[in-house]
Amino acid sequence: MPAAGAPWRGEQLALLAGQLHTRQTSSEYAELLDAAEAELGAEATEEQRRNLQLLQLELKRQRCLDPQLVSAITQAQSRGNAIWQAARARNDFSAFAPALKELIKLRQQQASQLASAESIARSPWEILAQPFEPDVSKARLNQLFTPLKRELPVLREKAAAKPQIPPSAQLSENSQNKLCAKLLQSWGYNESCCQHSRSAHPFSCTLGPQDFRITTRVVSGQPLSAFLATAHEWGHSLYEQGLPRSGDHYFPWPLGDATSMGVHESQSLFWECRVARSKEFAGRWHPNFCAELGSDPWNGSTGFWRSLNPLQPGLIRVEADELSYCLHIVLRFELELALIEQELPVEDLPQHWNQRLNELLGIKPANDSEGCLQDIHWAEGLFGYFPSYALGHLISAQLSEAMEKALGGDGAIATAISAGQESTLLQWLNQNVYPLGRSVNSEELVEKVSGYPLSADPFLNYLRNKFEQ
């Protein structure tokens, strides 16, 4: 879409948002839900009760919202996205600041209106985070993030003292595409219901019960980026394919939705980091990469493995290594709270971003495009989203720990990968994680599967062990 088309597109989206809101809050819809509850009565199954409970909760939330606010937010999102793209390209935060102010104001109004639908008292930021991470709280996030803020900088400093291995290969676009296709085929890609395409930014989406799509991109100067992004997005898609959905009627029911964005991210990170970045996987796939190149620039599979796992802090979140990624999220979480609840002036955001990033990672952006303008989330008013990315790392580590115990103890995941038996790992996830859907929240899922509450310890232990290797 040309940039000048954004305002009209915003008008279209606002109209659709208003019509959907009217339908989702109508008396006819409410009567259907009440009738379903009355008809099922005491004979309702646990699944039916949970589905109706989630539908009633969403109805209650939607009815709290002013239809004019719903349309205004949609228009502001469309406008903010277009302005952000131009501002980022020109490195001009001042051009984006008015749009960000408007989005913050509208989201604050939304949180105020939604407050009466919450079963317990929640802060404005916590209310905005509920669609992404049900039942999340600031106190719990601080509890989980405190060990990360304490331990990750220590690991990062140790890594900084080690020699770094720069990219040593220049894989052609055709070779990268071939390797990505081979990876997908080995992990169960079914072209009758899956589609792999290209886009400016990798993503995964599900459009129907048998319509699963992922996209990736080839990045110049980063020969392993497309391969790892494919592993990541396919992890998202595998989760979607394993959710408890059966038949055309069941698909849109809440119980068949993802547990949370944190759990969703845990699945993409499992396949990207635990599998595709593992030493065992590098040993198996090193010959495939060498065959495409006609040489071995890594001098063996260990060098290839090191290239798959750079340990150097960067300014850009989506390219961050495992040691620094969660600190990027801590930065955004703290700044979101300041913007939404602590009256941080939008004009001061670049200064606070640069200062806090330097404290957390010891680096400073040269400009706002590689600083506070790098992410699209705030340009669409998606406050409350970022913590799910860090929670995904913690959840992935704790579920992996439970998986290892179930499959035979320490080293069971590595053994399966060495033998090319990733299907064993997928089978465990299909039996223990995917079927839970929205029957639980993310913390309940982790405790149900692992036997104890979510903790940062498994993730930190995983990083320490990997770094020592």
Residue type, 404: E
52/74 Cα distance (integer angstroms): 27
DSSP string, 110-146: HHHHHGGG-SS---HHHHHHTTTSTT--HHHHHHHHH
Give the sheet arrangement for strand 194-198, strand by strand.
Answer: 194-198, 211-216, 203-208
Q: Yes or no: say if 324 and 361 are a contact pair by the CB < 8 Å rule.
A: yes
The tokens 């109805």 sit on which residue?
A: 59
442/52 Cα distance (integer angstroms): 20
Q: Yes or no: say if 212 and 194 are a contact pair by the CB < 8 Å rule.
A: yes
The tokens 């940062």 sit on which residue?
A: 456
Q: Yes or no: say if 309 and 128 are a contact pair by the CB < 8 Å rule.
A: no
Active site residues: 233
Q: Yes or no: say if 190 and 138 are a contact pair by the CB < 8 Å rule.
A: no
> Which residue from 89, 63, 78 is spatially nearest to 6, judged by alpha carbons?
78
- Please give the torsion angle defined by the CA atoms of residues 397, 398, 400 and 406, in that order, rounded to the nearest 10 degrees: 170
- Collapsing DSSP to helix, strand or coil, 179 comes out as helix
392/77 Cα distance (integer angstroms): 26
Buried b (16+ CB within 10 A) or exposed e, 443-456: bbbbeebbeeebbb
**Which one-letter DSSP state was computed for residue 164?**
P
DSSP string, 422-458: HHHHHHHHHHHTGGGGGGS-HHHHHHHHHSS---SHH
Q: Yes or no: say if 78 and 13 are a contact pair by the CB < 8 Å rule.
A: yes
Q: How far is CA 207 from CA 1, 200, 401, 418, in A?
A: 22, 19, 32, 34
